Structure 1
Amino acid sequence: MQIAAERARLEIRSLATAGLDMPTFSHAALDVLTRAVPFSVACLAPADPATNLITGNVKWGGVGDEYDEQWIYHEYEGPDPFNFQVVAGRPGGVATAMVETGGDLRSSPRFTDLYHHWDVGDEARMALQSDGASWGFLALFRDGARSAFTDAEQEYLSGVRTALAVGLRAGTIASAGTELLPAAQGPVVLVVDGADEIVRLSVGAADGLAHLTGEPIGRGPLPFSVRALVGAARRFARGQHPTVPRMRLRSRTGRWLVGHASPLLAPDGGAAEVVVTLEEARPPEIVPLVIAALGLTGRERDVVALTLQGVRTADMARTLELSSYTVQDHLKSIFEKAGVRSRRELLATVFYDQYAPRLEAGAGLGPSGWFTT
């Protein structure tokens, strides 16, 4: 068993550095992980490392999307003593339902309201962290016929968190679509009521949401990321979230977006509605995320910062007090981590396919300094 567990650990580390997109990495890593720590169902949720807000989810084990709204409610709005935000601050970054409830799962509203739909016997929750940042979260479920997650299994899960985080981090910038899309015609603005229904939306919002979800507006529940923003905004209104919720996420067409949500106060002071804004991300918002996702060392980040400014190797060496050979070594390492062969390709990767193709095609700029086509 120990040999199999160690083999699984090495396989996950290998997958994490294989340059896989997020869904492919997630499914492959979970296939491997269940051989070391058996589970019946899993949900892996990527997150914005700056805010810890969940931007989507990948499910494993045949579970569907029909209870996503309830899941998000308990994650962001319900009285959950070990939601992912709490787990992220725990030593080891792992918590289980059996331990948290003292063996009485019925004392957890999340279990009584949601997990009764399945035969859940225990849940292990993990914060997937690398270099102090959470790149996502993972929930593993065992059915009632299986035993609770043991201390040894929790220790093992804690030990593979970083590799899983590295895989999610790499998947953040893996190609998610390279078609040259027209410039956005403005932000998508939605007003969501207390029943999670869209009651108002801006002109063009239907098309904007279709890019995010792949489905026309009005069919099905709110997109997962939008519902997470709404839930976090309601927590913010109650003074339980430190800032106005904000996240960076990628649409299904590969476009980077920034979403934020604010509660609208009713005359009695209650937060009856939430306004959600989704708009195309500008380079200053995404470039730091892309650089962080490359997993660079501190000195490599210094070199990238100067590269983005167009500084020559000799000038970099003087600025950083390094030899030109050392700068070249750092550049070689950066190129390998980014999967590129030149500074030009590195710039295209950092400024990603959302902007580089437009610059290549000679897209025009408007008075605002943003692309018009």
Structure 2
Amino acid sequence: MQCAADKITQLCAAPRGLIALWQDASEVVAGVVPYFWTPCWFTLDPVSLLMTSHHHLGMDEFPGEWLAAEYYEDDVQSVPGVMRSATGLSTLHDAAGGDPSRSPRWRRNRTLGGDQELIARLRTRSGETWGALSLYRAEGMPMFTESEKSFLAEVSPTLAGGARRALLCGQAAEPEYSDSPGLIVLDDQWDVESVTPGVDRWMADLPGGNWDRGELPPAVITLAARALRSAEDRDHLGEVALSRVLSRSGSWVVLHGACLSSTGRRRIAVIVEPAHPSRLHPLLMSAYGLTEREKEVTTLVLQGASTSQISAELSVSAHTVQQHLKSIFEKTGVHSRRDLVGTVFFHHYEPRFRDNETRALADRPLRGGPWPTDRRR
């Protein structure tokens, strides 16, 4: 198992396409946790915990009724439910008390030959959920073991980080926003090998250096050196170097550095991104006119927080939370928390989910986060 975990660490460290990452990771997982047919991988927006993409070989388009069931159906297990759970890992048989036949989800899985299903949350050690993994087993296959569950729990933070970097690389290759991430690739002599669109702005905004004269900012060189040293340390292969830098414009940016190869002449990739790239709050304001406090309450509802949890998080009374929810329901035209989650998903995330299906077929980078309210951005 340790060999497989190390392999996943190496796969996830280097910036690469998301579909390629999922495919390679599937092969490694299969060696430890055998499954039926193929896994289903999802990406999620860490702010709302709503789905933004899926990858399931042989299923280019996720059935609409299945997607609706994830958010509206009352079942013993769902991807959103596991994402909001305490453990972040669930099997359908365990959730159904050993008798999954009463589960609509189980009956849907049976139409494709599946019997058992295990769902694992992909959450970084810093607490951000970037994806989910569903594994299936056909009738007659052994039940998922505690050892297999432990392995998935061990590698889930690594897979989450890999998903995040893959999404960042996609945004760098095809910028969607004015502050989309930038990617710069250096050789082991710190010479620039390649850059993505928009890197000029990032390099000019980082303190020190002179991009016009080919002088890299010190933060980039320092991070690249750390990434290179990690690649030379057998005990830390696959680690990603991170740093947080205050830019000249006064905003915080995050740099990720990873070595692209462990043999031959090494190259270092450095990704630069905004420190807080959340798109949910502007969307909620522009679409529904929510106040700042109502946006905070809505975000917590999407994440599955109870009234008491929202009360504690925002330091307000439960009565105040209920008053905010009443106003939110009126503005969004819903009558319950479940309807609120479903409305936000199908109005602002399903378009992203479907666009990513098209992108996957065209071998284009996948996107994370909600669908932009202004497509001119």
Q: TM-score, normalised by structure 1?
A: 0.50
Q: Is structure 2 residue 178 aligned with structure 1 residue 283?
A: yes
Deviation string 1:204-238 (CA, Å, 9 cap, x unpaired) is xxxxxxxxxxxxxxxxxxxxxxxxxxxxxxxxxxx
- Measured in 2, the distance between the counterparts of 1:122 and 1:74 equals 18
Unaligned 5+ runs, structure 1: 179-253, 257-281, 292-306, 315-323, 352-369
Deviation string 1:183-208 (CA, Å, 9 cap, x unpaired) is xxxxxxxxxxxxxxxxxxxxxxxxxx
Note closer, same or farther for the CA distance 1:372–1:48 as it changes in structure 2 (3 Å cut).
Answer: closer
Match of 2:24 in 1: 28
Shift of 1:109: 1.5
Q: Is structure 2 residue 54 aligned with structure 1 residue 53?
A: no
Shift of 1:30: 0.6
Shift of 1:121: 2.2
Match of 1:145 in 2: 140
Shift of 1:312: 3.1
Q: Is structure 2 residue 6 aligned with structure 1 residue 10?
A: yes
Match of 1:164 in 2: 159
- Is the CA contact (8 Å cut-off) linking 1:128 and 1:138 kept in structure 2? yes
Q: Is structure 2 residue 331 aligned with structure 1 residue 336?
A: no
Note closer, same or farther for the CA distance 1:255–1:68 as it changes in structure 2 (3 Å cut).
Answer: farther
Q: Is structure 2 residue 37 aligned with structure 1 residue 43?
A: no
- Measured in 2, the distance between the counterparts of 1:66 and 1:341 equals 36
Shift of 1:29: 0.2
Q: Is structure 2 residue 39 aligned with structure 1 residue 118?
A: no
Shift of 1:85: 2.4
Residue identity matched to 1:16: C
Note closer, same or farther for the CA distance 1:174–1:98 as it changes in structure 2 (3 Å cut).
Answer: same
- Is the CA contact (8 Å cut-off) linking 2:17 and 2:166 kept in structure 1? yes
Shift of 1:255: 5.4
Shift of 1:92: 3.6
Q: Percent identity?
A: 21
- Measured in 1, the distance between the counterparts of 2:269 and 2:145 equals 48
SS in 1 for 2:257: helix
Residue identity matched to 2:6: L
- Measured in 1, the distance between the counterparts of 2:218 and 2:376 equals 42
Deviation string 1:33-64 (CA, Å, 9 cap, x unpaired) is 0110000131001112221111111114xx42
Shift of 1:73: 1.7
Residue identity matched to 2:222: D
- Is the CA contact (8 Å cut-off) linking 2:91 and 2:117 kept in structure 1? yes
- Measured in 2, the distance between the counterparts of 1:94 and 1:372 equals 39
Match of 1:75 in 2: 70
Match of 1:270 in 2: none
Match of 1:185 in 2: none
Give the one of 86, 89, 104 matched to 2:99. 104
Note closer, same or farther for the CA distance 1:69–1:28 as it changes in structure 2 (3 Å cut).
Answer: same
- Measured in 2, the distance between the counterparts of 1:148 and 1:332 equals 46
Shift of 1:372: 8.5
Q: CA RMSD in A?
A: 4.0
Residue identity matched to 1:50: V
Summarize the alignment of residues 1-373 of structure 1 with structure 2, pairs less than 5 Å apart. 5-40=1-36, 41-60=38-57, 63-65=58-60, 68-112=63-107, 114-130=108-124, 131-175=126-170, 178=173, 254=174, 256=176, 282-283=177-178, 310=205, 312-313=207-208, 329=222, 333=226, 334=255, 336-337=257-258, 346=272
Note closer, same or farther for the CA distance 1:342–1:14 as it changes in structure 2 (3 Å cut).
Answer: closer
- Measured in 2, the distance between the counterparts of 1:33 and 1:23 equals 15
Unaligned 5+ runs, structure 2: 184-201, 210-216, 227-254, 261-266, 278-373
Deviation string 1:3-57 (CA, Å, 9 cap, x unpaired) is xx22111111110012220000000001110110000131001112221111111
Shift of 1:157: 1.1
Shift of 1:90: 2.9
Note closer, same or farther for the CA distance 1:49–1:68 as it changes in structure 2 (3 Å cut).
Answer: same
Shift of 1:89: 3.1
SS in 1 for 2:30: helix
SS in 1 for 2:27: helix
- Is the CA contact (8 Å cut-off) linking 1:12 and 1:163 kept in structure 2? yes
Note closer, same or farther for the CA distance 1:309–1:85 as it changes in structure 2 (3 Å cut).
Answer: farther
- Measured in 2, the distance between the counterparts of 1:347 and 1:88 equals 25
Residue identity matched to 2:55: V
- Measured in 2, the distance between the counterparts of 1:108 and 1:140 equals 17
- Measured in 2, the distance between the counterparts of 1:65 and 1:335 equals 31
Deviation string 1:240-283 (CA, Å, 9 cap, x unpaired) is xxxxxxxxxxxxxx453xxxxxxxxxxxxxxxxxxxxxxxxx43
